[in-house]
Amino acid sequence: MDLILRVKEFYLLELLQLKMYETQLDSLENDYVRHAYERMIELEQGHVEFYKNYLIENNIDIPTIPGGLMALAGKFIGKSLDLTSAENRYKLGAAVETKAIEMYHAFILETWDDPNFNRRLWHNMIDEELHLLWFKDNQKSFISSKKYI
Ligand SMILES: [Fe+2]
Ligand SMILES: [Fe+2]
């Protein structure tokens, strides 16, 4: 494993989550959802900073995203972003978080011998798990609330 390459990859994975949630802030359906997104954005910002600082400390250039958010989504989840409805937003959020958790499983095993670094990966992954649960739960209540309209 090339650790620097992996850190660059995870920097982009976290940037995808951060940018994806930031772009949705103005179109969210209510205050509760907006606060939930704001909190997720804070956590994703922390994840991005962790990898960014690691690269800076090692004098490595921070990767840029040619093609922006859409290209980034294609790279990690293989589909374009349709964030026009709440249902799609929850589905995409769940897809991105599922991909992140899967990638963290591998990265945690690869860095087992570095307890401090490894611990941070566990914590990031658990944040992603909580995000996934939130998206799944809200997707469920969104779908069931539509039944009664
Ligand atoms: Fe994250
Ligand atoms: Fe996340």
Angle at which helices 68-77 and 3-24 cross, to 10°: 120
User: Is the pLDDT assigned to residue 33 strictly greater than 90?
Assistant: yes
Q: What is the pLDDT of residues 72-99, one digit of tens each?
A: 888 898 877 788 788 889 999 999 999 9
Give a yes or no: residue 138 inside a domain: yes
Residues that place a CB less than 5 A from ion ligand 2 = 17, 128, 131
Angle at which helices 115-147 and 31-57 cross, to 10°: 160
pTM for the full predicted model: 0.92
Q: Which of 36, 139, 134 is nearest to 87 (CA)?
A: 139
Assign residue 124 the CATH number of its domain: 1.20.1260.10
Going from the Cα of 127 to the center of ligand 2, the distance in angstroms, rounded, reads 6
In the block, which residue shows the tokens 């589905």?
A: 91
Give a yes or no: residue 149 inside a domain: no
Give a yes or no: residue 127 inside a domain: yes
Give the chain's domain count. Answer: 1
Domain extent for 88:
3-144
Q: Which of 98, 64, 70 is nearest to 83 (CA)?
A: 70
